Chains A and B, each alone.
Chain A
Amino acid sequence: MAASKPPSPAISPPSLSFPRATFAKLSPHPFLLAHLQPPTPPSANTTPPHRPNGRLPTQFRPPNLHTGSLTHASGSSVVRLGDTAVVCGIRAEILPASNVGCAYTCGGSDDDTEIQALGLLVPNVELSTGCSPAHLPGQPPSPLAQTLAARLQSLLYATNLIGADELRIMYVSPPADDAGEGGGAEEVKAWWTLYIDILFISLDGNPFDAAWASLLLALKDTRLPLAYWDPDLACVLCDDLVANAKRLRMRRWPVASTFAVYSAQERGSVGGDGAGKWILADPDAFEEGLCRESVTVVVDCEEAEGGGVKTRIVRLEKRGGGSAGKAEIKEVVEMATERWRVWRDVLKGNA
């Protein structure tokens, strides 16, 4: 009965005595399979198989962005991917050098490790009450929220998005009285610490892509006030002129794309591989519930001459199953590059 169902979601065949939504609830796995399988026998009107949400298997949800909507945050953004909606707010706090234990002093002055050793970027993920039926209110941070925070943090550090010099608050001691000698020595007096809070208003699958995009946009939107060291008061002061505030400079723009791998074979039946598998781009909550295997690729491309792009992968995460191999990963990376192009165009329009 499943295979005879036409791909068009609007019409319900008369042979079914219950509506589409009930079918999806009762037997979700065959429901998705029926959508993805090409019609048998191949009919004349060759509409390619669609997913229950109306998208093609490789189709992403178009991003919907908004920045700077939170007044009291240093930077903020709202990102919507279909029914997944995320708010990200960034607050910058000052970390005086005297408060730092030995964390940095014994670590050496490597630019990349400075941000990490001091923990200057602190992402936190919260799933709000009612964002998804699976999320129970009044609980400690769920494993999903913690995992997301850990993934975002390690990606933030690994990609070196922000240079350490962006976050340093320096003090150049004035030249001494006689002929400017002994002055001009630069000293780090404090650092900016960015607290990045990500709140899911609504979660309909693919939390990582949405969270990462909102984080990048919020960072891009962040303005740090001009901070300077006052030697007389021996503390860091901030200039309250908005014109003097500077925007955070981002070195690059890596884009995350998540895919779910759906296999026709339901769990529990052993053997008989090759029954068919589909790679679903940007899965929604329904699809995520049916696919245990997932692949996340974060790519950062360079525009080469002649319109082409050179794909550099910054992160690859694949887990939960064994059906996607070398060829599938290659395919996924290509799709991720396409996705990078979409984001680039969106950002150009947004800027």
Chain B
Amino acid sequence: MTLPDASLSHIHRADGSATYLQNGYSIIGGVNGPIEVGRRDELPEEATIDVIVRPAVGVGGTRERHLESIIHSTLQHVILIQNHPRTLIQVTLQVIRMPDSDTFNSKKRQFSSPLRILPSLLQTALLALLSASIPLSTTFTASLITVARGSNTVINPSPEDLQNARSTHVLAFSAEGDLLVAESQGEFEIGDWERVFEMGLHAARSGSENRKGADSDVVMLDDDQGGALRGLVQQKIEKDQKWKENIK
């Protein structure tokens, strides 16, 4: 298992930005918003969310649209969109690096399972939103879990695990432990999925495996959660709030 690594707010022009590295993926996310929205997309009671996924090589196709729609519906639930009616919150996720060795075959790349990149994309989007200080109702943790032939489940699988997997699952849990995203493919039974669910929930709750549960206000109080990412968000918030300390 590889530990995730990230940096926040390192891009000057975007309102919020984050780079996230995990499992060989490197993704840069940028958030602009709330900004002016085109008239056709304007919603009278809530903010429009625009998610753009850009592949490292080539231009986006149907696969990217599919990923965008999953991320879009997740963010729609997470962002407090009623707070910014008639505006646009634009989330751009640029893939910089992929672990795929099949860079020499665009067809294969196009059809490789979209699930593998999904947790990293979700996580990048969340960090970039935090960096842009967009009000959120909750945070979430996404993880990739595979079930191998012997029914043993692996979290954050290595490329070999993925090769041998009978089914691949992406689960995202909110900070409260609600299941936000569940995308599974392969062949499995409900019992397998229940074990995957428990594993994902455990990982999301404990954060002991360096998974994050970054939550601007709550995090600093409970100390049983750890993780590099949370430290990072904490640093960012401390930096943002510095002006307050000086007033005191």
Which of B45, B77, B185, B197 is most buried by chain A, counting CB atoms within 10 A of its CB?
Answer: B185
Instruction: Name the residue on A nearest B71 (C-beta).
Output: A319
| Chain A: interface residue total (CB-CB under 8 A) | 46
Contact of B107 among A117, A143, A323 (CB under 8 A): A117
A54-62, A73-81, A151-159, A165-173 - interface stretch: A151-159
Q: Are A143 and B65 in contact (CB-based, < 8 A)?
A: yes
Interface residues of A in 266-314 (CB under 8 A from B): 267-268, 270, 292-293, 300, 310-314
What is the bound-complex CA distance between A179 and B132, given in angstroms?
78
Contacting pair B74 A319 (CB below 8 A) = yes
Q: A312 and B189 in contact (CB under 8 A), knowing A146-B66, A150-B62?
A: yes
Instruction: Give Cα A316 to B176, complex, Å.
Output: 22
Query: Does any Cβ of A come within 8 Å of B236's Cβ?
Result: no
Q: Is the CB of A322 within 8 A of B178?
A: yes
B178/A320 in contact, CB under 8 A: no
Docked CA distance A268–B76 (Å): 12
A143 contacts B182, CB within 8 Å? no
Contact A322 B105 (CB under 8 A): no
Total residue contacts A-B, CB cutoff 8 A: 127
> How far is the CB of A29 from the nearest CB of chain B, in Å?
12
CB-CB nearest in chain A for B105: A103
The one of A106, A117, A316 that contacts B193, using a Cβ cutoff of 8 Å: A316
Q: Give B182's nearest chain A residue, CB to CB.
A: A318
CB-CB under 8 A for A150 and B189, given A317-B182, A319-B181: no
The answer to whether B183 and A320 touch across the interface, beta carbons within 8 angstroms, is: no
Shortest distance between the CB of B17 and any CB in chain A (Å): 24
Measured CB to CB, the closest approach of chain A to B220, in angstroms, equals: 22
Q: Is A48 an interface residue (CB 8 A)?
A: no
Interface contact A321-B180, CB-CB below 8 Å: yes
User: Which one of B62, B68, B137 lies within 8 Å of A153 (CB-CB)?
Assistant: B62
Number of residues in B with C-beta < 8 Å to the partner?
43
In the bound complex, how far is the Cα of B180 from the Cα of A151, in angstroms?
A: 19
B 95-109 contacts with A by CB, 8 A? 104-105, 107-108
Query: What residues of chain A lie closer than 8 Å to B76, measured between beta carbons?
Result: 292, 320
User: A189 to B94, alpha carbons, bound, how many Å?
Assistant: 40
Interface of A is mostly: mixed
Closest chain B CB from A332 CB (angstroms)? 10
Q: Is the CB of B111 within 8 A of A322?
A: no
Inter-chain contact A292/B77, CB cutoff 8 Å: yes
B189 contacts A320, C-beta separation under 8 Å = no
Could you tell me the distance in whole angstroms from the C-beta of B108 to the nearest C-beta in chain A? 5
Q: A150-B66, A320-B74 are in contact. Are A118 and B114 (CB under 8 A)?
A: no
A119 interface contact, C-beta 8 A: yes
B126 to chain A, nearest CB (A): 14
Bound complex: CA of A94 vs CA of B113, how far in Å? 26
CB distance from A311 to the nearest CB of B (A): 7
Q: Given A118-B107, A318-B183, is A143 in contact with B68 using a C-beta cutoff of 8 Å?
A: yes
A314's nearest neighbour on chain B, judged by CB, is B187
Tell me the chain A residues, 167-214 only, with Cβ under 8 Å from chain B.
Answer: none
The residue among A300, A312, A313, A333 with the most chain B CB atoms within 10 A of its own CB is A313
Pick the contact of A107: B62, B82, B105, B180 (CB < 8 A).
B105
Minimum CB–CB distance from B164 to chain A (whole Å) comes to: 14
Contacts of A106 in B (CB 8 A): 104-105
B181-201 interface with A by 8 A CB criterion:
181-190, 193-194, 197
Most buried by A among B77, B114, B176: B77
Tell me whether B69 is interfacial, beta carbon within 8 Å. yes
Within 8 Å CB of B188, what residues of A?
312-313
Q: Which of A113, A292, A322 has the most CB of B within 10 A?
A: A322
Bound-state CA distance A60–B66 (Å) is 25
Contacts of B180 in A (CB 8 A): 319, 321-322
17 CB contacts below 8 A, A to B, read: A103-B107, A106-B104, A113-B108, A146-B61, A146-B66, A147-B69, A150-B66, A157-B111, A310-B189, A313-B190, A316-B182, A316-B193, A320-B73, A320-B77, A322-B138, A322-B176, A325-B178
A-B contact sample (8 more), CB < 8 A, given A157-B111, A268-B82, A312-B188:
A150-B63, A151-B66, A300-B187, A311-B190, A316-B182, A318-B182, A320-B77, A330-B190
On A, residues with C-beta under 8 Å from B are 102-103, 106-107, 113, 116-119, 143, 146-147, 149-151, 153-155, 157-158, 267-268, 270, 292-293, 300, 310-326, 329-330, 333
